[in-house]
Amino acid sequence: MTPEELADRLDAAADRTGPAVRRAVQQAGTTGRDLIRVNASGRPGPNVVTGQYRASWQTSTRAIPDGAICTIGTRAPQGRRLEFGFWDMTDSIGRHFFQPPFPHVQPALPAIGAELRAKVQHAVEEVFGD
């Protein structure tokens, strides 16, 4: 392979890198959201009452140069309370509360990381594997 051919292959790979990594990040984010929803479907995570909390988990992926950022989250007000619980809380009218944590995000993190690594590795092989 001549230096010119190598330069052409690297240019072509550079053009394909961003979109491939964006697809990988988006797919890993979707898988992560699904894992969190599964974990939020009963013990040891929170029980399902109406399904609205579980459905409130969303992903948002945006492109950055040569990659992407994916955020997985919920705007539901009970999200932090369910994940972390709270100890010894008294509200404004004097009611006393104690809620143990029902983790559903933390247990999904190792699988989300593994999924992201696998998807990015596949993207790199797709771009450079000729």
* Domains of the chain, residue spans: 3-75+103-128
- When pLDDT is averaged across residues 46-75 and rounded to a whole number, the result is 93
Element (H, E) at 57: none
Query: 36 exposed, middle or buried (CB, 10 Å; 0-12, 13-18, 19+)?
Result: buried
State residue 102's pLDDT score.
94
What is the C-alpha to C-alpha distance for residues 115 and 119, in angstroms, rounded to an integer? 6
Q: Are strands 86-90 and 58-64 parallel, antiparallel or unpaired?
A: unpaired
pTM of the model: 0.83
pLDDT at 122 over 80: yes
Residue 130 confidence (pLDDT)? 57
SS3 content of the chain, % helix, strand, coil (to 5): 55, 20, 30
pLDDT value at residue 58: 97
Name the 3-class secondary structure at 47: coil
